[in-house]
Structure 1
Amino acid sequence: MTESLNQVLAQVDRGMEESLGRLFALLRIPSISAQPKHAGDCRAAAEWLRKELADLGFEASVRETPGHPMVVAHDDKPSSGPHVLFYGHYDVQPTDPASLWHTDPFAPTLTRSVDGRQVIVARGASDDKGQLMTFIEACRAWKRVHKALPIKISVLIEGEEESGGVNLMPFLKANAQELKADVALICDTGMPNRTTPAITTGLRGLVGDEIELQCASHDLHSGMYGNAARNPIELLCTILGNVRDATGRVKLPSFYDGVQEPAETVRAQWRAIFPNDDLTLGPVGLSQAAGEQGYSAVEQVWARPSYEINGISGGYEGEGFKTVLPAKAMAKVSFRLVPGQNPEKIRDAFRAYVKSHLPPDAKVTFTPHGASSGFAVPQDGPYLKTALKALSDEWNTEAVSIGCGGSIPVVAEVKEALGLDSLLIGFAQDDDRIHSPNEQYGVESFHKGVRSWVRVLAGLSALA
């Protein structure tokens, strides 16, 4: 296998200029899924990808949805090794504000970043066209050298990830038999620094709730009713401020039921990458972790549940000053949940806590805003170990398992609809400016990303 692998890696290196040319062609298509005027461009991107995959020997098709189309492709000629389902998305974010772009966002440009790296500047360069093309180009290199892929591969490319993805779950469920595989590979994540490859093995879920407190029947004059009438803003602030204790722990009953500590070997890897909190918080002008005591900033984001007040309002908020005692106050709160926590139990516990702290004459209403569970890949699974070794071999640095403080809906949807665990392998960097003007993707990220996928596919083929 070593000689066979080296031949494919050499092909990647020889064909890099052509690979960049194909990426640039895809980047020129303004496939902004959120804007109806670009519906034709989204279809054009889907058709472009279908053709590329068909040219590689995949059985590829564009599939209709109530929104933008999906691309589905299969190459099932290999009879051994696991069957993988690769997921990416061809749609991109809007480019506003246009005045902040240094170049045309759909005229990909090679330039140098502030640290001297060669980067590709274009909308979608990192999220997600550059990332998904690393996988397609890895398949191309295998095909050119050996006329075949080392394992059975299916591909699913979405066109609405950046605009809600409402049609993905129905599509997965409707096509579950066709899309079933052994493991999903998702390339929409990044690396913790320039040199350390990583697989995201944990994602946090989310519970969102909106609370409205009402006391008086209408806004009051604070001179006439101040002190005597209950102030809902003060009450709401007191209740929400007391959800945490002095050590930063959330006080809701059973909140930490099911929460698992990360393995010490994993924590040690994280400490090596982020030896102090300044590396995590410094870029946003902070220096000290403010959550649970006993956990570093990165541990709090990657492996611990959180409670946050996302917005609070009430009373007079216009210009000038008005001595009003408001009748109502509103807040939006969210909980980021780790694997093992039950979203609906957390919501119920929060609502019960608020109600238990209401005095007479105060009424509360709640509006839910979504609920999803956390996700984790078993650390002892063969696919994870194999992929980590492949990444380590390519980058000459030990690959690490990392967490992600946010949520990636496709991971939970693939698990629910298809029963598949996912390996989230990506090569983006924190300064890629995704969703912002002047989005970029390092040429090294693209090149070594292709080489990394070649190695991952080779490694998985040995699991036959």
Structure 2
Amino acid sequence: MTQLSQLDAYFTAHRDEHLNEMKEFLAIPSISSLSEHKEDMIIAANHLATLLKKAGMENIQVRDTAGHPVVTADWLHADDQPTVLVYGHYDVQPVDPIELWHSEPFKPEIRDNIMYGRGASDDKGQVFMHVKVLEAMLQSPEKLPVNVKVLFEGEEEIGSVHLDQFIIDHKEELKADLVVISDTGLYAPGKPAVCYALRGLTGVQINVQGPKGDLHSGIYGGGVQNPIHAIATLLASFHDEHGTIQVEGFYDDVRDLTNEERAAFAELDFNEDDMKAEAGVSELFGEQGFTYLEQTWARPTLEVNGVFGGFSGEGIKTVLPAKAGAKITCRLVPDQDPVIIVDLLRKHIETHKPAGVEVEITEFDKGKPFITPMDHPLIQAAGESYETQYDEKTAYIRAGGSIPIVSTFDEILQAPVILMGFGLSTENFHAPNEHFHLDNFDKGLRVVSDYFTRIKK
């Protein structure tokens, strides 16, 4: 019996036990953004360390940071074989609005072979999947075919604010030949995908100050600049009528898609009508000259996330407000630099600032875009491993979202990052009724096992 056959039998025999253990892990309310859950974060980190000890990993540590703990471990006995760093996060999003949940978010339930609970898909369920792969392999006679290090953090949902420094400080300890992350998803149900690129992220808040206080619109209206009018003018200046960003220099460093990438995107069974239905819109809208997948995976954006100012209560109040503002984020693509983009935004805002107001700009956290070449052997090997379990050709895709720490792995460790996700876009991560299809959990165990065996020298 081959090792993969032994592993398959192990996963089958221990499935009920593993699912109960997953429930125990998901039941810990590890919400990183809320201070009242600080102790729960420590409990979750220690629980994860216990799971790693049971799996047979070594040098397990729960490491303090200036924020929530980092959990590390390793197993380094595969002589002359590659070293894999497995990354994931054990923190989760808040559960509000709680009234929309059909079951309690931290009392996980299985219904119709689907695990419901906060963190089931993003990312505790997928982290747990990796721990069980390590356990199964270390229980087998052949042990792990490659060396493995793990790095599980508790701050991904708040921007991994302390992980960059941890990686810099422990660069040699974390050194690896590749990084494997399961925090993305399949292209569609039953359709596996290896994600080889992520967009970066940056943003600003624009605060517009007009008069020293709210003014009576009958006395001052028409003679004093209205900050809401000013912010509306600024926001309108960011795009033309077709959605093309009008910030000078914004597109200068954008890396063009290769012909191979365009062909790969075109092969995907993408249906615009399905996307309209999913988004609940009558038509799609975006930068001209690009398909929807190209617009959302490989082109940068500038989005207004919120606008505020003036009176918004019941009825009407004839006031000329003193202040207004907006929050803006930009999704960035290779080779855009978030620092340069913020500078361009500042220049654009200063150039287009209406008369009669002062503008203050506050910067948000920044994350660089990331890409590993689609034809990299380790990317292709991941696709081959997926195809052992899914009766579909693997799609090689980009993702429109951002995982800021990925670019740090790329830059500091200088190792290819392999994004092997098993979630689905419909699984309500960050929303009520988050869930994880256990068919993909089962397949994921076997895909990752195959991958570790496949990349052995």
* TM-score of the aligned structures, taking structure 1 as reference length: 0.90
Letter in 2 for 1:154: K
- Retained in 2: the 8 A contact 1:184–1:421? yes
Select which of 117, 124, 131 maps to 1:122: 117
Of stretches 375-384 and 99-108 in structure 1, the one that deviates more from structure 2 is: 99-108
The one of 417, 422, 428 equivalent to 2:417 is: 422
> In structure 2, the residue corresponding to 1:458 is in which secondary structure?
helix
The CA deviation at 1:450 is: 0.3
Q: Which string of whole-angstrom CA distances, capped at 9 and with x for unpartnered residues, describes residues 183-204 of structure 1?
A: 1111111112111111222211
* Alignment CA distance shift 1:359-1:410 (3 Å): closer
Q: Provide the secondary structure at the position in 1 that maps to 2:325.
A: strand
Aligned to 1:231: 226
| CA-CA distance at 1:264 after TM superposition | 3.7
Residue 449 (structure 1) shift = 0.7
Match of 1:338 in 2: 333
Q: Does 1:437 align with 2:432?
A: yes
Secondary structure of the residue aligned to 2:422 is coil
Tell me how far 1:98 sits from its aligned partner.
Answer: 4.0
Aligned to 2:10: 11
Map 1:322-333 to 2 at 5 A: 322-333=317-328
- Which residue of structure 2 lines up, in the alignment, with residue 91 of structure 1? 91
Amino acid at match of 1:87: Y
- Does structure 2 retain, via aligned residues, the 8 Å contact 1:27–1:124? yes
Match of 1:178 in 2: 173
Q: Does the CA contact (< 8 Å) of 1:85 and 1:185 recur in 2?
A: yes
- Relative to structure 1, the CA distance from residue 371 to residue 95 in structure 2 (aligned partners, 3 Å threshold; closer, same or farther) is closer
Distance 1:38 1:381, change over 3 A: same
CA contact (8 A) 1:78 1:151 kept: yes
1:257 aligns with 2:252: yes
Question: Partners of 1:360 and 1:32 in 2: how far apart?
Answer: 44
Q: Where does residue 115 of structure 1 map in the other structure?
A: none
Q: Which amino acid aligns with 1:384?
A: I
**2:203 match:** 208
**2:80 counterpart residue number:** 80
Of the structure 1 ranges 196-205 and 26-35, higher mean CA displacement relative to structure 2 is found in 26-35
CA distance in 2: counterparts of 1:355 and 1:317, whole angstroms: 28
SS at match of 1:394: coil
What amino acid maps onto 1:172 in structure 2? Answer: I
Give the partner amino acid of 1:17. D
Distance 1:133 1:307 in 2: 35
Distance in structure 1 (CA, Å) of the matches to 2:381 and 2:333: 25
RMSD of equivalent CA atoms = 2.4
Q: 1:349 to 1:92 in 2, by over 3 A?
A: closer
Amino acid at match of 2:404: P
Structure 1 unaligned regions, length at least 5: 113-117
Moved more, 404-413 or 452-461: 404-413
1:421-464 Cα distance to aligned partner (Å, 9 max, x none): 32111111122222333321111011001011011111111xx2
Opposite residue 72 of structure 1, the aligned amino acid is: T
**Partner Cα separation in structure 2 for residue 329 and residue 132 of structure 1:** 42
Structure 1 residue 218: Cα displacement: 4.5
Are 1:280 and 2:283 counterparts? no
Offset at residue 401 of structure 1 (A): 2.0
In 2, Cα distance between equivalents of 1:316 and 1:83: 58
- Residues 324 and 68 of structure 1: CA distance in aligned 2, closer, same or farther (over 3 Å): closer
**Alignment match, 1:270:** 265
Separation of aligned partners in 2, 1:71 and 1:358 = 47
Residue-pair matches, total = 456
2:187·2:395 contact (CA, 8 Å) conserved in 1? no
Which range moved further: 256-265 or 152-161?
A: 256-265
Distance 2:72 2:182 in 1: 16
Answer whether contact 2:208 2:359 (CA < 8 A) is retained: yes
Determine which of 440, 445, 448 is the counterpart of 1:453: 448
TM-score (norm 2): 0.91
Deviates more, 1:374-383 or 1:440-449: 374-383
Could you tell me which amino acid in structure 1 is paired with residue 57 of structure 2? F
**Unaligned 5+ runs, structure 2:** none
1:239 maps to a residue whose letter is L
3-state SS of the aligned residue for 2:143? Answer: coil
Letter in 1 for 2:197: G
Three-state SS of the structure 2 residue aligned to 1:6 is helix
1:90-141 C-alpha deviation (Å, 9 max, x unpaired): 23333344444333433332212xxxxx211222221222101221222222
Matching residue of 1:321: 316
The structure-2 alpha-carbon separation of the partners of 1:312 and 1:67, relative to structure 1 and needing over 3 Å to count, comes to closer
Alignment map for 1:50-89 (pairs within 5 Å): 50-59=49-58, 60-89=60-89
CA distance in 1, matches of 2:13, 2:370: 39
Query: Paired residue for 1:106?
Result: 106
Judged with a 3 Å threshold, the aligned counterparts in structure 2 of structure 1 residues 298 and 35 are, in CA distance, closer, same or farther, namely same
SS of 1:332's equivalent? strand
Equivalent residue letter for 2:325:
M
The amino acid of 2:79's aligned partner reads S
Say whether the 8 Å CA contact 1:192–1:273 is kept in structure 2.
no
